[in-house]
Amino acid sequence: MMKALLRYPSLSRPVRALLLSVAAVCAAVPLRAQTAPGAGVTVQPLKSSLAEEAFQTLLVSRALEKLGYTVLPMKDLEPATEHLAIANGDATFMANHWHRLHADFYRHSGGDARLVRRGSLAEGAVQGYLIDRRTAERYGISRLDQLKDPEIAKLFDTDGDGKADLTGCNPGWGCEMAIEHHLDGLQLRAQVTHRQGSYAALMADAMARFKQGLPILYYTWTPYWVSAVLRPGRDVVWLQVPAPAGQVSETQLPNGRDYGFQADREQIVANRAFVEQHPAAGKLFELMTLPIADINAQNQRMTEGADKPRDIERHVEGWIRAHQAVFDGWIEAARDAARGTARDAAAQAPKAP
């Protein structure tokens, strides 16, 4: 553009001013593309009905906004539907995918052909069954299959039918299928009722019973706030889950203990076409990671009353400030990925003869 101006010195002043303006805009475009590779692109995040998943989802959204993406408010769907919506392009990402627990949801939604899951947002996710420590020690209960004893099962009866009431997993989450498998495999149907509905409300009932000194039996997982309130080893104990007769356990730990579930990890799952078109976002999804302790701590703050959208936004902003160097490192690596893709495209472009 500048060469053209020099070549035609007779151009009028208004025309020269217009050409200089165009040149400035053209020069600014590559710089903006490098610092805000998501400019002009809209992203739709999803989470499940669990309010506590808003923290990590909003943190990913804030990082995407830093890259220039326009991020819409998160929508709530249950995990199976989340995977399908992302695979179909109706949404962009979710930050609550469990690698093992949600493997069937991932596969049935098209797997790697339509979705991407890389890296680990949170390592060391665990799940299982717990009872209050007082009852465990008094009656010597350490395994789930001990509930086959009607007298043991009756200890956890909350509705007077003589069966143990297990606070379980909402339909559609994935964990409910594992619980059903355990109840069938250990032949516990006649002694245990799997209570399902609003998990938060059911756990509130269980905690009320615990405060009254009554026995409780429940399923939970980490990262989640429950184990920050009912602390394993102090208030409650994990129950082991032996493999059914004639079967080999796939969940036994190296120390011989078996809690019925394999250790898992949480990941970001995104639409494959979106990631391929936006390497900055793909790199961000791959790199982001959160300590489980931080997720548990934030979730507990929500149970203590700081659970409004404004509260969660404040928690996210506080986490970013406390880990600014880490956050900035994610952003710079994502920008580098975009720059690298742009350089590769330029190198492969046909050259003028």
Q: Per residue in 240-249, pLDDT tens? A: 999 877 677 8
Mean pLDDT of 127-154: 97
Would the pLDDT of 28 be above 50?
A: no
Q: How far apart are CA 208 and CA 195, in angstroms?
A: 16
**Mean pLDDT over each residue of the chain, to the nearest integer:** 89
Would the pLDDT of 5 be above 90?
A: no
346-352 long-range contacts, CB within 8 A, separation 24+: none
Residue type, 219: Y
CA-nearest of 32, 95, 31, 39 to 69 is: 39
29: pLDDT confidence band, cut at 50, 70 and 90? very low
| Superfamily classification of domain 125-238 | Glycine betaine-binding periplasmic protein; domain 2 (3.40.190.100)
Judge whether 296 and 225 are in contact, CB under 8 Å: yes
Q: How far apart are CA 121 and CA 97, in angstroms?
A: 9
Q: What was the pLDDT predicted at 262?
A: 85
Please identify, in words, the CATH class of the domain defined by 42-123+264-348: alpha beta
Q: Where in the chain is the domain with CATH 3.40.190.10?
A: 42-123+264-348
Q: Where in the chain is the domain with CATH 3.40.190.100?
A: 125-238
Q: How far apart are CA 227 and CA 159, in angstroms?
A: 25
Q: What is the CA 209 to chain-centroid distance, rounded?
A: 30
Q: How far apart are CA 240 and CA 57, in angstroms?
A: 32
Reading the block at residue 143, the tokens are 């395994």
